[in-house]
Amino acid sequence: MHQDILINWSPQETRVAVVEHGAVQELHVERALERGLVGNVYLGKVSRVLPGMQSAFIDIGLERAAFLHVADVWHRQESGEAPMFARKGEPPVPIERQVFEGQPLMVQVIKDPIGSKGARLSTQISIAGRLLVFLPQDDHVGVSQKIPAAERDALRARLQALVGSKDTGGGGGFILRTNGEDASDTELQEDIAYLRKAWANIRQAALTRPAGSLLHQDLNLLQRVLRDIAGEQTQSIRIDSREQFELLAEFGREFMPAAAPKLQLYKGERPIFDLYSIDEEVARALGRRVDLKSGGYLIVDQTEALTTIDVNTGGYVGARNFDDTIFKTNLEAAGAIARQLRLRNLGGIVIADFIDMVREDHRAAVLAEFKKHLARDRVKTMVGGFSQLGLLEMTRKRTRESLAQMLCEPCPTCRGVGEVKTARSVCYDILREVLREARQFNPREFRVVASPQVVELFLDEESQHLAGLSDFIGKPISLQAEGSLGPELYDIVLL
């Protein structure tokens, strides 16, 4: 798989596009004022404990209090064992016995604030390095599940020897990341030393800073490109800022020597994102409809609870019979849906409504094609297969806001509903409101202030109803058009 990474940097915003086989697969955006919080370590203060929800609200200095659930509270077992979460099947110690209001607490953000929800926290601290993840409160040494099982035991034993024990001045929990599989002992030792130093700085800051302070910040998006996004399949990493190129090259040489040689300074006259029409792809990714090359199309609807994707044949009539037409459209849609999930960063529950297929082998082939494309996704996904109703159900881990949530806001006219009342519906609302007001008050005149479309309808098709209401209540009703009012907004003034 051929992969290129393009970085468009400006003082206010960093944009990273992952391009595979000439098509944009992922877009990452980080704004200077809206940088993600996942991985940040804070010295928080418990502001409220909710025993009924087995959770607590923690003040970490943000606009909204963060959320700590009992399942994310790290504690020592009474038997004196190493710190751990409650074992599977065992009820956790009630949260009201573990934290109390006003208590200072070191916490780490594990999920960014999304919508009206505050950040989600854990009291288990983990610090990610180039090759390892450090768990300073633990003594467990583990290996990534993505590394083949046959190699894990040998790697675990080798890492354990490098980590040492508390008696020899070592200790602490470490997990070997996937990109550390072929690392040398020297590289691993350097990462261990770096992570322990970072933890020592965090502990020192916790002793000197007030509650609500940021103790440790995760890498920025540019640095995460080298650590998390670039891999063996990456051919080039092009960036259009000389200053950031030099900073990133220095960071890469120190921490990511394998990725550093792939860095290139883009000097072209055209904006770097114009190379693959990335801005046009982003504009399409913010719309509901996604056209397929065959003539079919997808309709993507994102809600608070889940995302639904509907597949339609559209104008595709290229196959020999109707079953083949449906099968070919669904096959193409499987790849397109997997790409849209990555490009839009859609998380949570996803329901894909493929066109109904009669043949079981067609359904199996579409499911296999979908899973093949999902295998390229770095974000964890689980596919449940087709339901009895023919819907494909899956989940994709939600770690940050979707592309639409990051770049857009609800429409002020429809307030995010996506629809507004017709002008005729608003006219009838006004007629009912005038009648309601006439029964309570006795003004000289009623003046209706509404949008030009509503006023025009009252002067034309609904004029008879307006005149009939005026005769019924015995008061004149005047009209005033106000262009600044939305289609559903109106005011009734008593004169």
DSSP states of 192-245: HHHHHHHHHHHHHHHHHSPTTEEEE----HHHHIIIII--TTEEEEEES-HHHH
Note down pLDDT in tens along the chain; length 495 residues: 688 999 999 999 999 999 988 889 999 988 877 677 888 999 999 999 999 999 999 999 888 899 999 999 986 544 334 334 444 556 678 999 889 999 999 999 998 888 778 899 999 999 988 789 999 988 888 888 878 888 888 888 888 888 887 665 677 899 998 777 878 888 888 888 888 888 988 999 999 999 889 999 888 889 889 877 887 789 999 999 999 999 999 988 877 787 889 999 999 889 999 988 888 888 888 888 999 888 889 999 988 788 999 998 876 555 567 788 888 889 999 999 999 999 999 988 999 999 888 888 999 999 999 999 998 887 888 898 888 888 999 999 876 778 888 888 888 888 777 888 999 999 999 999 999 999 999 899 999 999 999 999 999 988 999 999 999 999 999 999 998 888 889 999 998
- Under a CB-based contact definition with an 8 Å cutoff, are residues 82 and 140 in contact? yes
Tracing tokens 């300074």 back to the chain, one arrives at 265
- Residue 110 is inside which H or E element, if any? strand 104-111
Beta bridge partners of 447: 478, 493
- What is the reported pTM? 0.68
C-alpha 421/C-alpha 403 separation (Å) is: 28
Scanning 20-145, the segments in alpha helix (DSSP H) are none
SS3 state at 250: helix
113: Cβ–Cβ under 8 A, 6 or more apart, which residues? Answer: 37, 62, 64, 119
pLDDT tens digits, 387-432: 888 899 999 987 677 888 888 888 888 877 788 899 999 999 999 9
- Under a CB-based contact definition with an 8 Å cutoff, are residues 49 and 33 in contact? no
C-alpha 373/C-alpha 230 separation (Å) is: 18
Residue 325, φ and ψ in degrees, nearest 5? -60, -45
Q: Which residue type occupies 201? A: N
- Under a CB-based contact definition with an 8 Å cutoff, are residues 135 and 124 in contact? yes
List the structure tokens of 229.
């996004």
